[in-house]
Amino acid sequence: MSLETALTSRELQMNHLFRDRREAGRRLGDLFARRTDLREPVVLALPRGGVPVGFEIARALRAPLDVLIVRKLGHPGQPELAMGAIASGGVRVMNPDVVSEAPVPDAELDAVVLQETRELERRERAYRGERPPIDVRGRTVVLADDGVATGSSMLAAIRALRVSGPESVVAAVPVAPQDTVTRLEREADEVVCLASPEPFYAISVWYQSFPQLDDSEVRDILDHRAAEIAEAQSAASS
């Protein structure tokens, strides 16, 4: 794990860690650009916020960029509280601490899963269109997000990826609490995190600018990177 900085709560009042997602992605990209141990790397970003971060990492690695769709399972009584997550391929990861402290009847859980599955499928179509997912077999996959709190979404993404047979999975995030980093290290082959401030508060606190992205912005970023890859391949073959 790479730990670049950590702020105290007093420093938090005076500083942001990152100007925006692109700047955070460039800082991660600087770390990955020096690496020579990654086999045919591909960057998969968790939409929506992870896509600008992943774009900068992909550029630094001269690697393709795609998305891995993960949906948080919000607690029915408190939607912002993640009781788990689902990912493409039918993967479901539950947060045992949340489930034990605030149990949810099976019928209510099934309703949340059904709703989020429909949204997951909609996003697959909206982001990728007719473009097939990138084949990750035998490759190093860098999973990028703009930060993690409980880690449920990233865990679901890691477990979904294992089914596809990558050589290794590297979780890359600008900011995360240390206990979540430790949890991710049990699942990923490597975790690269720039900062683990305590107390953590929320991901958005550490950014000066943290706007919501819409589907068209995600699609534009993916299309932009695909065009850059195609241009580089054309130049190399001419």
The amino acid at residue 206 is W
pLDDT in tens, 18-46: 999 999 999 999 999 989 999 999 999 99
Contacts of 227 (CB under 8 A, 6+ apart): none
**Residue 75 · residue 116 · CB < 8 Å:** no
Strand ranges across the sheet with 42-45: 65-67, 42-45, 140-144, 168-175, 190-195
pLDDT in tens, 171-200: 999 999 999 999 999 999 999 999 999 889
CATH code of the domain in which 157 resides: 3.40.50.2020
103-127: average pLDDT: 91
CA distance 112 to 116: 6
Coil, strand, or helix at residue 11?
Answer: helix
> Do the domain assignments include residue 176?
yes
pLDDT in tens, 126-174: 998 888 889 999 999 999 999 999 888 899 899 889 988 999 999 999 9
Dihedrals phi, psi of 59, to nearest 5 degrees: -60, -45
CA distance 50 to 226: 17
Number of domains in the chain: 1
* Residue-wise DSSP of 52-77: HHHHHHHHHHT--EEE--EEEEEETT
Q: What is the pLDDT of residue 97?
A: 81
HEC secondary structure over 22-54: HHHHHHHHHHHHCCCCCCCCEEEECCCCHHHHH
> Do the domain assignments include residue 58?
yes
Tokens of 168: 């290794």
Contacts of 151 (CB under 8 A, 6+ apart): 176, 180, 183, 184
Q: What is the pLDDT of residue 4?
A: 39
> Do the domain assignments include residue 1?
no
102-130: average pLDDT: 90
Instruction: Give the residue carrying structure tokens 């790397």.
Output: 41
> Do the domain assignments include residue 2?
no
Q: What is the pLDDT of residue 15?
A: 61
For residue 18, the enclosing domain spans 9-237
> Do the domain assignments include residue 3?
no
> Do the domain assignments include residue 4?
no
214-228: average pLDDT: 95
CA distance 152 to 82: 7
